């Protein structure tokens, strides 16, 4: 099992927050997906923002979040907006 911090965009603080919502490994994050992980984070940490969602998806895709496609970003933004 890989540590969350081995993934792009996931530093110690993000890893700690993910672990607090029952996402402990890179495999957990991939299995759960960015949207569910973000939903869990948003529920516990209301201050998380769209950039966190992009970071999670980028981590899953193994790319820096700013390299996500415009289509992916639009889809994630729509999801993030639906949580407001």
**Which DSSP state fits 58?**
H
Identify the pLDDT of residue 77. 97
Express each pLDDT in 33-59 by its tens digit.
Answer: 999 999 999 999 999 999 999 999 999
Tokens representing 3? 């540590």
Q: What residues contact residue 40 under an 8 Å CB cut-off, 6+ apart?
A: 21, 22, 23
Question: pTM of the entire structure?
Answer: 0.96
């Amino acid at each position: 099992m890989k540590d969350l911090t081995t993934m792009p965009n996931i530093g110690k603080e993000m890893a700690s927050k993910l672990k607090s919502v029952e996402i402990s490994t890179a495999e957990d994050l991939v299995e759960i997906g960015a949207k569910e992980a973000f939903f869990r984070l948003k529920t516990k940490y209301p201050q998380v923002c769209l950039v966190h969602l992009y970071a999670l998806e980028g981590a899953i895709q193994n790319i820096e979040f700013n390299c996500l496609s415009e289509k992916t970003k639009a889809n994630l933004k729509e999801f993030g907006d639906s949580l407001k």
